[in-house]
């Protein structure tokens, strides 16, 4: 806000400076957990226990059995820019710890009530300090086990603006759960436990065995299908650059285990989870042509690089990195993933016997269990669905079982009974799938309907350009039209599935739908046009259907090759199993 008078320049006091820095480091409960867990790992912890209450808003507590902080250093650890992990600026070029900026504890303490209890092995007792909104409130000696326990209460209680940005407890807890699982996968020798509102929702064994960690994080059914990545053979140009290339390890899912979102793609660089659009893209690209459009694989990719090859000091939350040789890293990731996916060899050693620890998240936090549900709460095709039968008869059954139609709810969903429970079919999404498979199956004979009177349709300039550019493809999907003056086309025929609708609106809609995301995934224009036609052609939510129509629609869906998603990747059907129903009615 501009002021009338010029204000003198002042150095900010420490509390204010920390609070500003906190804005970058601490965005939500999961960011607090991330920093505390990284500190525990840096302290050499063998066990890390994370507790949260009310999605982390009321309480976050991280307990470790690491080295602890010497009593004399405790206040220093809470000060800004205080770290035991760097000695000089040069150390920044080869960071081997997860932390190094020395600001996380100070930042967290400035926006919460923080209590830290710690003891080193050579101390007789521990020391506890309390900090409220960045101000040291008290210090006392206290009996404690060797290690550190940090309790963060009432996060953002004095920052109402921040509080407003938090989502529901369920969502915030989901982020924390995903995060803890990712660390458990990348740090398999450390035992992780996550307790949510008093219940253990996740536990890893810390055995170092990938099979254990994968089963704990993904659930047995998904873990069983994962394929290990092997480091691709490196081509050595000169003896001296031998060990400098990226090492790529981890696990990826087979193509039939796809998801509606990218959230089951986790990428680590030197043990640090990173968000890197380009790396995620490299993984997705490796599945090119193997996944339906708009679907994403399950992948855990761990990249190892000499610290000098990667700059980790790009972002305060340390979730972004910069590579010296980014292209080399992406290429290595893509090659490793593609090789694994096409080889199809599963992780050895994941058997029924490894069912412990039970994937507790399955019941208590379904939104947080990677591999079970997509983030929008929709069943992920091939994951939960076919999982029960996956082991017995090869790839999960993506096909639908025979369904008995019972009726319609909300003028949008068809209710049906199947062998395992109650099926709800999204009538619009299902119809889109059916029309799509029809049109894609017989590209040469897509029927078209002549208009009685050709219609001149005026288009927005960008759509007119699109129509001119893709005239042949438009003809291939069933449009017959030609340029007719500036930004106008003369429409003689439309795809038969659109015959009942207004021709001008159909042309505009299809072009506009096909235009969306044009520069995106590099998907063929023809397929986009077909999907646009489907979207326009199909029964909408809000349309009452006769029992016969519903039965016909469900029969057709059963014969589809990929009946469980619409061409845009949304689920067509969800199931309430008899177990779900029983549990909801207190019989479980």
The residues that touch ligand ADP, with contacts defined as CB under 6 A, are 35, 39-40, 43, 64, 66-69, 77, 82-85, 99-106, 148
Q: According to the binding rule CB under 5 A, does residue 459 interact with Mg ion?
A: no
The least CB distance from residue 306 to Mg ion, in Å, is: 22
Residue 48 CB neighbour total at 10 angstroms: 28
Q: Which of residues 217-246 bind Mg ion (CB under 5 A)?
A: none
List 99, 126, 147, 569, residue binding Mg ion (CB under 5 A): 99
Alpha-helical (H) ranges within 128-224 are 160-165, 169-186, 210-218, 220-223
3-state secondary structure 364-384: HCHHHCCCCECCCCCECCCCH
Distance CA 47, CA 344 (A): 34
Residue 77 CB neighbour total at 10 angstroms: 20
Q: Which is nearer to ligand ADP, 10 or 87 (CB)?
A: 87
Phi and psi torsions of 124, nearest 5°: -80, -30
The least CB distance from residue 199 to ligand ADP, in Å, is: 24
Q: Which is nearer to ligand ADP, 70 or 465 (CB)?
A: 70
List 52, 104, 280, 545, residue binding Mg ion (CB under 5 A): 104
Q: Which is nearer to Mg ion, 320 or 480 (CB)?
A: 320
The least CB distance from residue 346 to Mg ion, in Å, is: 37
Between helix 210-218 and helix 169-186 the angle, nearest 10°, is: 170
Q: Which is nearer to Mg ion, 99 or 255 (CB)?
A: 99
320 torsion bin: left (phi>0), alpha (psi -120 to 50), beta (else): beta
Residue environment code for 472-508, b if the CB has 16+ CB neighbours within 10 A, otherwise e: ebbebbbbbbeeeeebebebbbbbebbbeeebbebbb
Q: Which is nearer to ligand ADP, 67 or 531 (CB)?
A: 67
Q: Which residues pair with 48 in a beta bridge?
A: 64, 192
Q: Which of ligand ADP, Mg ion, none binds 85 (CB below 5-8 Å, type-dependent)?
A: ligand ADP
**Complete DSSP assignment for 23-75:** HHH-SSHHHHHHHHHHHHHHTT-SEEEEEEEGGGTSEEEEEE-S----GGGHH
The least CB distance from residue 190 to ligand ADP, in Å, is: 12
Nearest residue to the partner Mg ion, using Cβ: 99
Q: Which is nearer to ligand ADP, 100 or 423 (CB)?
A: 100
Q: Which of ligand ADP, Mg ion, none binds 269 (CB below 5-8 Å, type-dependent)?
A: none
Q: Which is nearer to ligand ADP, 65 or 276 (CB)?
A: 65
Q: Which of ligand ADP, Mg ion, none binds 77 (CB below 5-8 Å, type-dependent)?
A: ligand ADP
Phi and psi torsions of 190, nearest 5°: -105, 140
The 35-64 site mask, x for binding Mg ion (CB under 5 A), equals ----x-------------------------
Q: Which of ligand ADP, Mg ion, none binds 102 (CB below 5-8 Å, type-dependent)?
A: ligand ADP
Q: Which is nearer to ligand ADP, 68 or 245 (CB)?
A: 68
DSSP 3-state helix, strand, coil percentages of the chain (rounded to 5)? 40, 20, 40
Nearest residue to the partner ligand ADP, using Cβ: 99
The least CB distance from residue 194 to ligand ADP, in Å, is: 17
Distance CA 486, CA 506 (A): 20
Distance CA 109, CA 456 (A): 67
- Find the part of the chain contacting Mg ion (CB under 5 A) among 31-39, 177-185, 310-318, 349-357: 31-39
Residue 4 CB neighbour total at 10 angstroms: 4
Distance CA 40, CA 49 (A): 10
The least CB distance from residue 34 to Mg ion, in Å, is: 9
The least CB distance from residue 367 to Mg ion, in Å, is: 28
296 torsion bin: left (phi>0), alpha (psi -120 to 50), beta (else): beta
The least CB distance from residue 24 to ligand ADP, in Å, is: 13
Q: Which is nearer to ligand ADP, 66 or 134 (CB)?
A: 66
The answer for residues whose C-beta is within 8 angstroms of residue 1's C-beta and 6 or more apart is none
User: Taking Cα atoms as reference points, which of 92, 90, 107 lies closest to residue 39?
Assistant: 107
The least CB distance from residue 19 to ligand ADP, in Å, is: 15
The least CB distance from residue 83 to ligand ADP, in Å, is: 3
Q: Which of ligand ADP, Mg ion, none binds 316 (CB below 5-8 Å, type-dependent)?
A: none
Q: Which of ligand ADP, Mg ion, none binds 83 (CB below 5-8 Å, type-dependent)?
A: ligand ADP
Q: Which is nearer to Mg ion, 39 or 151 (CB)?
A: 39
Distance CA 477, CA 494 (A): 9
The number of helices, as runs of H, and strands, as runs of E, in the chain is 19, 22
- Interacting residue ranges for Mg ion, rule: CB under 5 A: 39, 99, 104
């Amino acid at each position: 806000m501009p002021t009338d008078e010029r204000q003198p320049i002042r150095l900010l006091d420490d509390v204010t400076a920390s609070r500003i820095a906190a804005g970058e480091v601490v965005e939500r409960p999961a960011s607090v957990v991330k920093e505390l867990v990284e500190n525990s790992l840096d302290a050499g912890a063998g066990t890390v226990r994370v507790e949260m209450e009310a999605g982390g808003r009321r309480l976050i507590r991280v307990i470790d059995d690491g080295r602890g902080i010497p009593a004399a250093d405790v206040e220093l650890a809470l000060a800004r820019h205080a770290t035991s992990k760097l000695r000089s600026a040069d150390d920044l070029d080869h960071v081997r710890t997860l932390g190094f900026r020395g600001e996380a504890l100070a930042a967290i303490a400035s926006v919460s009530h923080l209590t830290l209890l710690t003891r080193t092995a050579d101390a007789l007792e521990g020391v506890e300090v309390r900090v409220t909104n960045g101000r040291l409130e008290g210090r006392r000696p206290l009996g404690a086990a060797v290690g550190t326990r940090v309790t963060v209460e009432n996060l953002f209680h004095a920052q109402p603006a921040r509080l407003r940005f938090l989502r529901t407890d369920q969502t915030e807890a989901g982020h924390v759960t995903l995060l803890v699982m990712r660390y458990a996968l990348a740090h398999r020798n450390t035992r992780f436990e996550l307790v949510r509102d008093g219940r253990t929702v996740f536990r890893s064994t810390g055995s170092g065995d990938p099979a254990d960690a994968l089963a704990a994080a993904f659930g047995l059914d998904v873990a069983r299908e994962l394929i290990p990545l092997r480091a691709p053979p490196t081509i050595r140009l000169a003896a001296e650059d031998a060990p400098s290339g990226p090492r790529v390890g981890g696990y990826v899912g087979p193509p039939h285990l796809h998801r509606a979102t990218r959230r089951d793609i986790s990428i680590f660089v030197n043990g640090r989870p990173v968000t890197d659009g380009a790396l995620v893209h490299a993984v997705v690209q490796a599945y090119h042509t193997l996944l339906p459009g708009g679907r994403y694989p399950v992948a855990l990719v761990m990249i190892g690089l000499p610290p000098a090859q990667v700059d980790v000091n790009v972002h305060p939350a340390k979730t972004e990195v910069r590579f010296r040789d980014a292209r080399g890293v992406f290429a290595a990731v893509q090659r490793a993933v593609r090789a694994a996916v096409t080889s199809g060899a599963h992780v050895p050693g994941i058997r029924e016997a490894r069912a412990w620890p039970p994937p507790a998240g399955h019941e208590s936090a379904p939104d947080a269990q990677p591999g079970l549900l997509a983030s929008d709460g929709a069943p992920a095709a091939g994951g939960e669905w076919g999982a029960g039968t996956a082991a017995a008869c090869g790839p999960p059954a993506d096909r639908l079982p025979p369904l008995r139609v019972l009726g319609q709810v909300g003028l949008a969903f068809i209710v049906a009974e199947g062998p395992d429970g109650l099926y709800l079919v999204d009538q619009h999404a299902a119809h889109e799938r059916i029309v799509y498979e029809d049109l894609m199956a017989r590209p040469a004979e897509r029927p078209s309907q002549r208009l009685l009177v050709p219609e001149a349709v005026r288009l927005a300039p960008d759509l007119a350009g699109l129509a001119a550019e893709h005239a042949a493809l438009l003809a291939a999907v069933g449009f017959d039209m030609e340029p007719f003056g500036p930004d106008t086309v003369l429409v003689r025929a439309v795809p038969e599935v659109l015959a009942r609708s207004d021709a001008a609106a159909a042309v505009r809609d299809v072009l506009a739908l096909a235009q969306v995301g044009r520069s995106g995934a590099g998907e063929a224009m023809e397929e986009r046009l077909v999907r646009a036609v489907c979207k326009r052609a199909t029964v909408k939510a809000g349309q009452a259907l006769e029992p016969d129509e519903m039965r016909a629609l469900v029969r057709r869906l059963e014969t589809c090759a990929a009946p469980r998603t619409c061409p845009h990747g949304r689920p067509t059907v969800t199931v309430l199993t008899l177990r779900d129903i029983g549990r909801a009615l207190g019989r479980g």
